[in-house]
Amino acid sequence: MTKEIAAGVPLYVVTDWADRFPWLFAGITHAGSGPDPFDLRLFGEPASELAPARWNDLLLASAFTAMVHARQVHETRIVVHDGVGAGVREAEGAADGHATAESGVLLAVTVADCVPVYLLDPDARAVALLHAGWRGTAAGILPHGIALLSQRWGTEPVDLLVHLGPAICGECYEVGPEVFEALGLEAPPDPAPVDVRVALARQARAAGVPTESVSVSDVCTLCGDRNLFSHRAGRTERQVAVVGILP
Ligand SMILES: [Zn+2]
């Protein structure tokens, strides 16, 4: 689903959407090929000293006016952004999702195994971006995001596009039966690998999004060859997923 672009920062773009919607920018950073990985971790220990400057570089390379993000806590709060000032801006309070219909505002979530969920209403030109690990998925951040788009911009689920970006895959992510249960999946007796993107795709369909409107990246942060950071692999670094309406 992705290809590399040269923009001063290492980034894969969601190619499907880039081809269909030239007014849209959607992608995810990666570690890059240099000796110093392109780590964008702003929070936690250790935070990358270079991360704030890199966030600015990402904003400049994308040609957006503002980039918004928040402290993430694996819950379901989604912040709607309008009237955003310029620069890299942290939303007030913790949040695991962002939404906007304002051009020039780039939404960002930080990930390393969790699923970046991109939502696009092409008619309203409204977007949302969610950080969905198993806890956020179980708590319903995706149906919450779909409902929010509907309330705010009149989005009909039948017109909505959903992209489930690079994340840990269904072979690499071993969890206990309680996680399967929380995700509404049939629970095996012993720890087994789970595919959070399968659970998210089901939720999207249950919310009325057509099957053909849900695209799933085949890229795994752990076993894939795309130079992405994986929490399960013991990495503390983070990549950043972004989506926005170009200015
Ligand atoms: Zn994998």
Q: What is the pLDDT of residues 100-109, one digit of tens each?
A: 999 999 999 9
pLDDT at 147: 98
Contacts of 90 (CB under 8 A, 6+ apart): 68, 69, 70, 71
Q: Which two tokens stand for residue 198?
A: 């399968």
**Residue 169: Cβ-neighbour burial (10 angstroms; 0-12, 13-18, 19+):** buried
Residues 164 and 15: their CA atoms lie apart, in Å, by 13
Gap from CA of 19 to ligand 1 centroid (Å): 27
CA 159 to chain centre: 20
Element (H, E) at 53: helix 51-62
Gap from CA of 115 to ligand 1 centroid (Å): 13
Gap from CA of 69 to ligand 1 centroid (Å): 27
Gap from CA of 168 to ligand 1 centroid (Å): 5
Please tell me the number of Cα atoms within 13 Å of 163 on its side-chain side: 25
Gap from CA of 11 to ligand 1 centroid (Å): 20
Residues 136 and 145: their CA atoms lie apart, in Å, by 11
Give 160 or 1, the one with higher predicted confidence. Answer: 160
Gap from CA of 174 to ligand 1 centroid (Å): 10
Residues 111 and 17: their CA atoms lie apart, in Å, by 20
Gap from CA of 21 to ligand 1 centroid (Å): 29
Confidence of residue 46 (pLDDT cuts 50, 70, 90): confident
- Per-residue pLDDT of 172-192, as tens digits, reads 999 999 999 999 999 999 999
Average pLDDT, the chain: 94
pLDDT at 44: 75
Cβ atoms of 41 and 96 closer than 8 Å: no
As a whole-number percent, the residues of the chain with pLDDT over 90 amount to 85
> What's the pTM?
0.96
Backbone angles phi, psi at 168, to 5 degrees: -65, 140
By three-state DSSP, how is residue 182 classified?
A: helix
Gap from CA of 105 to ligand 1 centroid (Å): 32
Cβ atoms of 211 and 205 closer than 8 Å: yes
Cβ atoms of 98 and 121 closer than 8 Å: no
Domains and their CATH numbers in the chain: 2-245 (3.60.140.10)
Gap from CA of 191 to ligand 1 centroid (Å): 16
For tokens 């039966």, what's the residue? 177
